[in-house]
Structure 1
């Protein structure tokens, strides 16, 4: 073998090693940038990290970046295969092509694909930051070629009615966040209570005040025609600080009496309740439509610096009341204090079933039992059973749907008062 021929072989070998390193670089870069946390990169950029700024810039031109990585990877893989074949053919003759195929398949798969991608996915944020500058140079060089390829692909797909870039966001931002929370919880990085809190926050826009309000049949109200002494006793006996006043009928709300205002006025008349003018003390009623979203109602509560409103339907009829606490409970869960009623309406049984009051909201039951019963068509568990049964069931009837068995335990007229719910899907196989 001549000296020049030997030099050429060594040069070809160096080119093969260099191409393998480039292929590993493209593979690691594609994996790292795809798996990098956008929120963390935005946070680092705001804190002055230049590398994070480069990462975000590349992610904002995602198609061009991926096209560049794909073109670069294929170019170097073709190059490394060609040079390796040339070397082995010179060494072993025609059989060298077969050796090159086997040898390069192992090298490319192990050292140019699996190894760099495994290292990158182990710590994608760090890898993306490390590769941000060289990857920016490569995109700047190969970007025009990637852009031409991208346009050619778009043109080829047009006859098939496929338009790249149109309607790309399949999931909304809230759905993506919710999916991430579910994934993190499965991986053990987020506790259930934290997932529920974030999920409740995301649900504020989707829920209306009618879904969380206290129904008018459960409202604690006071007849304004009672004597002042009787009204004071009613307020002191109530577990609530704000109580609607009505006159004539309970739907005719004329104001809201605050216990603190009543006690302050009572002190001003030296405790003589007969001298009180209750209606003058009462606050003006605030009525909100039943279709108001919880997010809008929360903003309204903050703007008016109050946290009590009466909910009315499209005809102006009072449907119930909603408080700031009702909205906060959708985020943090049930809030109880020493004056709250102790009845929760959810009573787990030794055999694994759960006795539930019909008025228990589906969302509260899902949170308490970590279930996933649908709440799109009904607010309460009784409403869900009636919706699914398409009828008002009788006591003792049993229904099976959504992986649960529902047995009606007690009924009063047309209302389901209590149910027994048994999960049919084994806990270890639950999908939620």
Structure 2
């Protein structure tokens, strides 16, 4: 009975160490660094263990090897002391055969239990909840390290010496994605939503976020400066497409136009910037890269040479972070306009 209790204890310790080994591998360093910044002491212990993998694995392997050997020795002794004499007495077989059979009777079920209970179950649980399991194991691993420090140091040194004989290629861990679930768990709800939006944005097309042409505020090259100024003020847009006989010939920056008004010049068409076109089915990430490359905030969207609308950098950003509001979205400008000569006109939708 005493031998059985010792074997159960050894299996329990083996399970803890196996789970700790898997959990420490599964939990990511970026996650631990973020928790350390938040003042998590256990995360600090875990990060110290992760930063020195040779020593950490030495602690775990020494423990697993020791309890495995101890359980096998106890099991073998029990088989020789109790089962072998019983077989000789019961079946009248010679001592050598009895010892072989008794060892099989002990080793087979012990191996099965050791693999399932001592390895597979704890490792699977550790993969499901790596941070929790690793946090439980960290204090005990550090205590074990202190108790058998000389032995651990020897194993650590030997491991590094052998590894140094192999060609090394240094790759930053950040070059590869870490366990996504673990990364998201340490993010706040809004930040998690940003990540989900970024994943979703890869499949989003320009046609899903464009402002349809019927909603676009534009000016024509034949309009007077006063008419254009009125359009700028009532629309509250920073950029307006400029048309010539239904063809977009450029983009007018409202701030530049209003400043130009102060000079007394009349050739406002000289302010026009190129109007870049984008296909309606272009992925919005490709559209964003194009707009960054061309240093523009607005592009005209076409489908089969027909104007479909416009797309702005702000609209693309809103797909990631949600609605972006301007100061004038509160209606202040509408209230000002309603009290002067623009009475009856209203600020149009922002884009």
How far does the alpha carbon of each residue in 1:104-139 deviate from its partner, in whole angstroms, 9 at most, with x for none? 79x9699956789789762426847958x96x959x
Distance 2:182 2:31 in 1: 14
The structural deviation recorded for 1:82 is 6.1
Distance 2:231 2:122 in 1: 74
**Paired position in structure 2 for 1:193:** 190
| Cα distance change on mapping 1:30 and 1:258 into 2, 3 Å | same
Counterpart selection for 1:94 from 86, 89, 97? 86
SS in 2 for 1:336: coil
| Cα distance change on mapping 1:228 and 1:120 into 2, 3 Å | closer
TM-score in terms of structure 1 length: 0.48
**Paired position in structure 1 for 2:262:** 267
Counterpart selection for 1:124 from 119, 134, 155? 134
The structural deviation recorded for 1:308 is 1.6
Q: Higher strand fraction: Structure 1 or Structure 2?
A: 1
Counterpart selection for 1:223 from 220, 223, 229? 220
Q: What is the RMSD of the two structures over their aligned residues, measured on CA atoms?
A: 5.3
Distance 1:326 1:115 in 2: 48
Counterpart selection for 1:320 from 309, 330, 341? 309
Counterpart selection for 2:321 from 332, 347, 353? 332
Q: Does 1:37 align with 2:37?
A: no
Bigger-Rg structure (1/2): 2
Distance 1:42 1:292 in 2: 38
Residue-pair matches, total: 274
The structural deviation recorded for 1:32 is 1.8
| Cα distance change on mapping 1:257 and 1:121 into 2, 3 Å | closer
8 A contact 2:20–2:133 mirrored in 1: no
| Cα distance change on mapping 1:291 and 1:83 into 2, 3 Å | same
SS in 2 for 1:339: helix
Q: Does 1:27 align with 2:18?
A: yes
- Show structure 2 runs of 5+ residues with no match: 37-46, 88-101, 146-151, 160-175, 332-351
Distance 1:260 1:302 in 2: 21
8 A contact 1:120–1:127 mirrored in 2: no
| Cα distance change on mapping 1:25 and 1:238 into 2, 3 Å | closer
**Paired position in structure 2 for 1:206:** 203
8 A contact 2:211–2:310 mirrored in 1: yes
8 A contact 1:36–1:125 mirrored in 2: no
TM-score in terms of structure 2 length: 0.57
1:375-386 matches, cutoff 5 A:
none
**Paired position in structure 1 for 2:165:** none
| Cα distance change on mapping 1:120 and 1:229 into 2, 3 Å | closer
**Paired position in structure 2 for 1:244:** 241
1:236-315 matches, cutoff 5 A:
236-249=233-246, 252-269=247-264, 275-313=265-303, 315=304
- Show structure 1 runs of 5+ residues with no match: 1-9, 60-67, 142-171, 270-274, 343-432
8 A contact 1:239–1:340 mirrored in 2: no
Q: Does 1:80 align with 2:71?
A: yes
The structural deviation recorded for 1:261 is 0.9
The structural deviation recorded for 1:51 is 4.8
SS in 1 for 2:282: coil
Distance 1:311 1:33 in 2: 51
How far does the alpha carbon of each residue in 1:250-291 deviate from its partner, in whole angstroms, 9 at most, with x for none? xx101111110111111111xxxxx52231222221223334
SS in 2 for 1:288: strand
Of structures 1 and 2, the one with the larger relative CO (CA 8 A, separation 6+) is 2
**Paired position in structure 2 for 1:158:** none
How far does the alpha carbon of each residue in 1:320-377 deviate from its partner, in whole angstroms, 9 at most, with x for none? 21111111111110112243498xxxxxxxxxxxxxxxxxxxxxxxxxxxxxxxxxxx
The structural deviation recorded for 1:238 is 1.0
**Paired position in structure 1 for 2:172:** none
8 A contact 2:278–2:300 mirrored in 1: yes
